[in-house]
Amino acid sequence: MRRWKMQLRPTHAVIDLAALKHNYHEAQKRLPKNCGILTMVKADAYGHGAVPVAQVFEKEGCAALGVATVEEGIELREGGLKSQILVVGGLLGKGKEGAEAILKYHLTPVVHSAGVIDLLEEVVTRYQVPGTRYSVHLKVDSGMTRLGVTPKALPQLLERLKAASHLKLEGVMTHLAFRQNAEYTKEQLRVFKTEGEKIVQELGEIPVWHIANSAAVMDGPFDRLRVSGALDERGSSLCSERQKYWARPGIMLYGIPPYPEYSKKADLKSVLSLISKIVLIKRVPRGTKVSYNCTYTTTRESRIGVVPIGYADGYPWSLSGKAHVLVGGKKIPVLGRVTMDMIMVDVTDLSEAEVGSEVVLLGNQKKESISADQLAAWAGTIGYEIVCGVSKRIPRIYKQ
């Protein structure tokens, strides 16, 4: 096991790299053999630690690594990653400074507007080796209404790209907004194909196409046409046999289904466990108030265990009075409000519980488990937010 920093408090996260590899291959086996996998490691690899996780995916042969921001791409380069790194958020308003960083650290930006083309062209012209062209990807907004060029704005952007002598369009992508809704997804694919045909008409064949997210991968198996998202009702495709196509899984790689109802669609293994210990036990009489605002009152003589984790660690305040933890392989309730640094749990019925007993807040203990989706249900959120919210002050321990 490898630790990021000195660990004095007993609260930590364990990252199971074998489970990470397993989930990567679960995605891979659902895809055609010649489909590349762009592994999403944005948001510190969904809270799992960007550099160690990316190193695993690089060794497994991923086509590229996906991040949201330029800073995240720089972190990977400084961590020694050699793979292509796609910055899906593009410059995010960073302007010339962001464009220079993109070039310096050999990152591949996703372009969302015509203005970015001129900025990148200016910077690349100044710093790029003469006679070479710098790769960019283009995102089409097919219905997410977030980043991406709209169909109306696409002609202007393509004109700028055609005029850019130092840039080349390597890839085209879009993002599915409502994967469970077949009709809305079908309409997004129609828009993507229509706009994709315009791109090909203006610029010629595009080397890479990608659209399939975790939900699309888990819906597999599917063929080359479906994974590119460029399939119409007649079966014609934007992608020729000479072109590449990628899938773009994210949350499934970390053992969490994109939607709870997808939990049976693949054999995913949870990668992150959140573990602590009981650091104090006190016996209190019936009628004792527990935690802030006195929202919980004991109904019997009780043994209260104090666990050093709180909302500053990413254990949500919204779990107050709702969550359970595992002690001795049994689920026991969290009492009262979650505080910044600590929670209180009821160990009255666990005579074996003592100071130093292991507490699992997320993960497995004996035959019981608490998943990210279970925590999310208690907190009224989604599994993504649970793992992404695990604070930097929680040491990550990497289990090989």
Tens of pLDDT along 168-195?
A: 999 999 999 998 888 999 999 999 999 9
- Residue pair 163/170 in contact (Cβ under 8 Å)? The answer is no
Give the pair of three-digit tokens for residue 330: 């049994």
Give the pair of three-digit tokens for residue 287: 């009628």
Identify the band that residue 343 occupies on the pLDDT scale cut at 50, 70 and 90: very high
Distance from first CA to last CA of the chain, Å, rounded? 7
Q: Nearest to residue 54, comparing CAs of 66, 69, 36?
A: 66
272-399 is a CATH 2.40.37.10 domain: yes
Identify the band that residue 130 occupies on the pLDDT scale cut at 50, 70 and 90: confident
Predicted pLDDT of residue 224 = 44
- For 31-255, CATH number? 3.20.20.10
Predicted pLDDT of residue 7 = 78
d(CA 117, CA 115): 5
Q: Number of C-alpha atoms within 13 angstroms, CB side, residue 153?
A: 15
Mean pLDDT (the chain) is 92
Give me the residue label for tokens 């597999």: 220
- Residue pair 302/290 in contact (Cβ under 8 Å)? The answer is no
Question: Who's near 333: CB < 8 A, 6+ residues apart?
Answer: 323, 324, 345, 346
Predicted pLDDT of residue 238 = 55
- Residue pair 387/45 in contact (Cβ under 8 Å)? The answer is no
Q: What is the pTM of this model?
A: 0.93
- Rounded to an integer, the average pLDDT of 388-393 is 96
Identify the band that residue 2 occupies on the pLDDT scale cut at 50, 70 and 90: low
Give the pair of three-digit tokens for residue 199: 């791109």
Report cis status (omega within 30 of 0) of the bond before 32. no
Give tens-digit pLDDT for 150-172: 999 999 999 999 999 999 999 99
Give the pair of three-digit tokens for residue 240: 């020729």
State the DSSP code for 309.
-
- Rounded to an integer, the average pLDDT of 307-314 is 98
Boundaries of CATH 2.40.37.10 in the chain? 272-399
Question: Who's near 291: CB < 8 A, 6+ residues apart?
Answer: 320, 335, 336, 337, 339, 344
Boundaries of CATH 3.20.20.10 in the chain? 31-255
Is the pLDDT score of 5 beyond 80? no
* Torsion sign over Cα 42, 47, 51, 53: negative
Is the pLDDT score of 233 beyond 60? no
Give tens-digit pLDDT for 41-97: 999 999 999 999 999 999 999 999 999 999 999 999 999 999 999 999 999 877 889
Is the pLDDT score of 232 beyond 50? no
**Is residue 184 among the annotated active site residues?**
no
CB atoms near residue 72 (< 10 Å): 23
| Secondary structure element (H or E) that encloses residue 60, with its range | helix 50-60
* Torsion sign over Cα 309, 310, 312, 316: positive
Residues in the chain: 400
Displacement of CA 57 from its chain's centroid (Å)? 14
- Rounded to an integer, the average pLDDT of 321-348 is 98
Task: Average the pLDDT over each of 113-127, 222-236, 258-272, 309-323 and give the range with the smallest value.
Answer: 222-236
Q: Number of C-alpha atoms within 13 angstroms, CB side, residue 142?
A: 27
Of the chain, the percentage scoring pLDDT greater than 70 comes to: 93
Give the pair of three-digit tokens for residue 54: 């990316």
Residue type, 4: W
Report cis status (omega within 30 of 0) of the bond before 257. no
Strands 85-87 and 2-3: unpaired
Predicted pLDDT of residue 175 = 95
Where would I find the beta strands (DSSP E) of 72-207?
Answer: 85-87, 108-111, 134-139, 167-173
Predicted pLDDT of residue 229 = 52
d(CA 238, CA 44): 33
Question: Who's near 88: CB < 8 A, 6+ residues apart?
Answer: 42, 66, 67, 68, 110, 139, 147, 173
Active-site residue identified among 127, 292, 366, 392? 292
Which SS3 state, helix, strand or coil, does residue 271 take? Answer: coil
* Torsion sign over Cα 178, 179, 185, 188: positive
* Torsion sign over Cα 394, 395, 396, 400: negative
Q: Number of C-alpha atoms within 13 angstroms, CB side, residue 274?
A: 26
d(CA 52, CA 69): 18
Is the pLDDT score of 275 beyond 90? yes
Predicted pLDDT of residue 244 = 83
- Rounded to an integer, the average pLDDT of 25-47 is 95
- Rounded to an integer, the average pLDDT of 268-275 is 98
**Phi and psi for 283 in degrees, rounded to 5?**
-95, 130
For residue 335, give Cα distances in angstroms to 213, 288, 315, 345, 360. Answer: 38, 11, 14, 5, 16
Task: Average the pLDDT over each of 126-140, 176-190, 209-223 and give the range with the smallest value.
Answer: 209-223
**Is residue 292 among the annotated active site residues?**
yes
Active-site residue identified among 24, 42, 193, 277? 42
Beta bridge partners of 296: 290
Is the pLDDT score of 241 beyond 90? no
Predicted pLDDT of residue 239 = 54
